[in-house]
Homo-oligomer: A and B are copies of this chain.
Amino acid sequence: MSDTGTLTIVGIGPGAHEHTTPAALEALRVAEVIVGYTTYIRLVQDLIAGKEIIRTGMTEEIGRARAAVERARAGAKVAVISSGDAGVYGMGGLVFQVLQESGWRRGDAPELRLIPGITALNACASLVGAPLGHDFCAISLSDLLTPWALIERRIEAAAVSDFVIGLYNPASGRRTRQIVRAQELIRAHRAGSTPVALVKSAYRRREHRVLTDLDHLLEYEIGMLTTVIVGSSQTFVFEGHMITPRGYTNKYTWEGSALPGQVPGRSLVVAEDS
């Protein structure tokens, strides 16, 4: 073991270890100190027995990030964990901000490493089909740190331009209006029959999935652990799966030959443009 501390920011994926990468598992194995939100620590409990654990509550992210940086600067091998990917609404950015605040420079200890993870959006998508098969966006409905006006602006832009929309943090015990408003904003630009998936606790013990549509999504329970995926105008439901096609049938027959006027490897020719 070297004397220099290391700081590894680890995305552990949705929860089940079979979806945690070997790199993430190895990072947990070699760490001396594990820093993370209580819920995420619990997801990897069996992998980190005997290690020092720094866990705090949900609004204490800054304290966790500071503790991680301090311990790593003092020489410890520290792993900061987030569920999903630590860089997506996770601890990644905050750890960098704390490093910056502390005067850290490239080349200084601790040595930094980021290990990507399966995001909640991808985990949830895989449980309902292939809803992210074309352009998509992720929007957090939490206005705890972001002005609600900006969140509305993003929902509207995504709705107008036909992105598949993944909504993170759609609601909590206290926040219930945001998903109602999001539904309203999207519905103004998209059919009520647009497929919507509600996936809770993907790949965890209490996993629950609902396939519904834009007009009916508010009839189901939506909470902190739910990810909402709203389809684009092209998304369809097939035998219980939600699919957003890439667009092969715009250009090819099922035999794989190009449709009249289309050339493989060339831009799609759109009738209205010709």
A98 vs chain B, min Cβ distance (A): 8
A82 vs chain B, min Cβ distance (A): 10
Of A30-38, A47-55, A113-121, A212-220, the one with at least 4 CB within 8 A of chain B: A113-121
A269 vs chain B, min Cβ distance (A): 9
**A162 an interface residue at 8 Å Cβ cutoff?**
yes
Q: Given that A62-B252, A250-B145, A268-B145 are known contacts, is A137 also in contact with B136, CB under 8 Å in the complex?
A: yes
Q: Given that A18-B22, A96-B129, A115-B126 are known contacts, is A145 also in contact with B248, CB under 8 Å in the complex?
A: yes
**A44 an interface residue at 8 Å Cβ cutoff?**
no
A46 vs chain B, min Cβ distance (A): 14
**A249 an interface residue at 8 Å Cβ cutoff?**
yes
Q: Which of B123, B125, B162, B247 is in CB contact (< 8 Å) with A154?
A: B162
Q: A116 near B19 (CB under 8 angstroms)?
A: yes
Chain A interface size band reads 35 or more
* Docked pose: A230 CA to B87 CA in angstroms: 15
Q: A116 near B114 (CB under 8 angstroms)?
A: no
Q: A150 near B162 (CB under 8 angstroms)?
A: yes
A61 proximity list for chain B (CB < 8 A) = 248
**A191 an interface residue at 8 Å Cβ cutoff?**
no
**A140 an interface residue at 8 Å Cβ cutoff?**
yes
A232 vs chain B, min Cβ distance (A): 10
Q: Which of A95, A133, A175, A255 has the most CB of B within 10 A?
A: A133
Q: B106 near A116 (CB under 8 angstroms)?
A: no
**A157 an interface residue at 8 Å Cβ cutoff?**
yes
Q: A163 near B137 (CB under 8 angstroms)?
A: yes
Q: A88 near B122 (CB under 8 angstroms)?
A: yes
* Docked pose: A167 CA to B13 CA in angstroms: 23
Given contacts A18-B22, A116-B126, 7 further A-B contacts (CB under 8 A): A17-B22, A85-B132, A87-B126, A97-B249, A134-B146, A144-B266, A157-B160
Q: Can you offer 29 A-B residue contacts whose CB atoms are under 8 A?
A: A11-B122, A14-B116, A17-B22, A19-B23, A19-B115, A62-B255, A66-B256, A85-B125, A85-B132, A92-B133, A93-B245, A94-B246, A96-B129, A97-B243, A100-B239, A106-B240, A114-B130, A119-B119, A119-B122, A135-B138, A135-B139, A136-B138, A137-B137, A137-B158, A146-B268, A153-B161, A156-B161, A157-B158, A158-B161
In order of increasing CB-CB distance, the 9 nearest A-B pairs are A145-B247, A92-B130, A93-B133, A137-B137, A157-B161, A116-B126, A18-B23, A157-B157, A93-B130
